[in-house]
Amino acid sequence: MTAERLSGPLLTAEGLHKTYGSTPALSGAGFSVHAGEVVAVMGPSGSGKSTLLHCLAGIVVPDAGTVHYRGRELSALSDAERSALRRGDFGFIFQFGQLVPELTCTENVALPLRLAGIGRRQAEARAREWLERLEVEDVRHHRPGQISGGQGQRVAVARALVGGPRVVFADEPTGALDSLNGERVMELLTEAARDTGAAVVLVTHESRVAAYSDREVVVRDGKARDTTGSAGLAGAA
């Protein structure tokens, strides 16, 4: 157990409210995750789980409530500071991968490093290491349109992890995959994240995917409830 895990959560949210037009997406939701922990955020379609993830990642600013990352309140940061966090400390995996079609798999994985100012040779060497770790090193010269959905999602996981993020946000990462490919992607993602000490916030509606987590949080009617009864979940009433 890391010192950070002992000292408290890495990322917390309290009393989050977010409304789109006249439709409330979050109504006082809370959340917490520690370094090295995988937390599954579950709930029916329209429950607010993706909005919660976007607030936690600083993509969406809540109407009320707070999100703290390593003691810093995200809403108090400038747009540039939040963007820097998303480039460096946060990694993202989406349902359909969202790889850049014009780039090879190696170039896609290396992209976060290149944006951080790392030279091409070093960035692509690290990218190849992660492609090998995610068992897709053989497609390193291919473009996304030339590989399968399962391979593409492993490339997306490699891209999310290559920069050594502290928090990985995964929004329905297996939603477009069959069960076999989905389970392998989850095995590789959770193994790699735990090895590196990254926290994972995993949005899913599938119980078989949530089974890879350490803890489950259910979002319903804009509120979050920790089904394990953990005291670490803030504002979940």
The pairing of strands 72-73 and 23-33 is unpaired
What is the pLDDT, as a whole number, of residue 101?
A: 96
What is the pLDDT, as a whole number, of residue 7?
A: 65
- Alpha carbon 144 to its chain's center: 21
For the cut 80, the answer to whether the pLDDT of residue 201 exceeds it is yes
What is the pLDDT, as a whole number, of residue 1?
A: 41
For the cut 80, the answer to whether the pLDDT of residue 228 exceeds it is no
CA angle 121, 105, 90 (to 5 degrees): 80
Q: pLDDT confidence of 233, banded at 50, 70, 90?
A: very low
From CA 205, how far away is CA 175, in angstroms rounded?
9
Contact status, residue 185 vs residue 108, Cβ threshold 8 Å: no
Percent of the chain with pLDDT over 90: 71
pTM listed for this prediction: 0.88
For the chain, the 3-state helix, strand and coil shares in percent, each to the nearest 5, are: 40, 25, 35
Q: pLDDT confidence of 4, banded at 50, 70, 90?
A: very low
Give pLDDT tens digits for 36-90: 999 999 998 888 999 999 999 999 999 999 999 999 999 889 989 988 898 889 9
Give pLDDT tens digits for 122-179: 999 999 999 999 999 999 999 999 999 999 999 999 999 999 999 999 999 998 888 8
Q: pLDDT confidence of 235, banded at 50, 70, 90?
A: very low
Percent of the chain with pLDDT over 70: 93
For the cut 90, the answer to whether the pLDDT of residue 30 exceeds it is yes
For the cut 50, the answer to whether the pLDDT of residue 219 exceeds it is yes
Residue 52 tokens read as: 């919660």
For the cut 80, the answer to whether the pLDDT of residue 237 exceeds it is no
pLDDT mean across residues, the chain = 90
What is the pLDDT, as a whole number, of residue 232?
A: 41
Residue 126 tokens read as: 């690290």
How far CA 25 is from CA of 19, 73, 112, 210, in Å, comes to: 5, 21, 30, 22
For the cut 80, the answer to whether the pLDDT of residue 205 exceeds it is yes
Mean pLDDT for 6-27 is 91
